[in-house]
């Protein structure tokens, strides 16, 4: 089965702090999978989890992206990390993005990791626009914000056919 969108909905996020590490197109090696491997090998998620969990929202490990679509090559950023309460202290070696309270549109993408699961951005954007959730938030640098959320257990426990569910969220304008 090729990856498919099985659910869309709107979720409200409070003001929060994303803590992680920033990468750019210059860091790509096909994708950013090797950076995720680096995170696991270095125990960086373990360090972040020691801060404490943000319980007010669905959480998980995140791939947070932002870019100006009119200048994708030089503005694209891929961050790996987690959401935390606003004003959380940032551990040494990490950086952060403060995010204002906002609604996000979320797609659940079901499929196998090696069968298009990570190539559904355009399909998600089209599906959200079809469902009146296409008013995407743009910051003062003309950047949109979107994320992959690796939720436990949706992503971490494959079904009997080897499929997982990846959350794909897009920040909406208020």
Structure confidence by residue, pLDDT tens digits, 123-139: 999 999 999 999 999 99
- What average pLDDT does range 95-110 have in this prediction? 97
Q: For residues 132-158, give the mean pLDDT.
A: 94
What confidence score (pLDDT) does residue 52 get? 83
Q: What is the dihedral of CA 168, 26, 137, 16, to 10 degrees?
A: 70
CA 163/CA 155 separation, integer angstroms:
9
Q: How would DSSP label each residue in 87-134?
A: TPPPPTT-EEEEE-SEEEEEEEEEE-TTTTTT--HHHHHHHHHHTT--
Quote the DSSP letter at residue 136. Answer: B
Q: Band the pLDDT of 75: cuts 50, 70, 90.
A: very high
- CATH superfamily, domain at 4-171: Regulatory factor, effector binding domain (3.20.80.10)
DSSP category for residue 47:
H
Backbone phi and psi for residue 9, each to the nearest 5 degrees, phi listed first: -165, 170
Instruction: Give the mean pLDDT of 154-163.
Output: 94
Q: Which of 88, 11, 10, 101 is nearest to 50 (CA)?
A: 88
pLDDT above 70: residue 1: no
Residue pLDDT, tens place only, 20-66: 999 999 999 988 999 999 999 999 999 999 998 777 888 889 999 99
């Amino acid at each position: 089965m090729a990856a498919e969108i099985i659910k869309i909905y709107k979720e409200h996020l409070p003001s929060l702090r994303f803590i992680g590490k920033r990468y750019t197109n210059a860091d790509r090696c096909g994708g950013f999978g090797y950076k995720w491997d680096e995170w696991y090998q270095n125990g960086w998620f373990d360090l972040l989890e020691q801060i404490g969990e943000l319980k007010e929202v669905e959480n998980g490990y995140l791939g947070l992206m932002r870019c100006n679509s009119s200048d994708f090559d030089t503005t694209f950023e891929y961050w790996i990390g987690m959401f935390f309460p606003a004003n959380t202290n940032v551990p040494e070696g990490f950086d952060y993005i403060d995010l204002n309270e906002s609604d996000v549109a979320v797609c659940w993408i079901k499929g196998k990791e090696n069968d298009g699961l990570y190539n559904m951005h355009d399909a998600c954007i089209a599906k959200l626009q079809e469902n009146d959730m296409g008013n995407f938030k743009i910051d003062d640098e003309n950047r949109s914000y979107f994320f992959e959320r690796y939720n436990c257990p949706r992503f971490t426990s494959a079904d009997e056919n080897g499929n997982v569910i990846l959350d794909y969220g897009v920040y909406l304008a208020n």
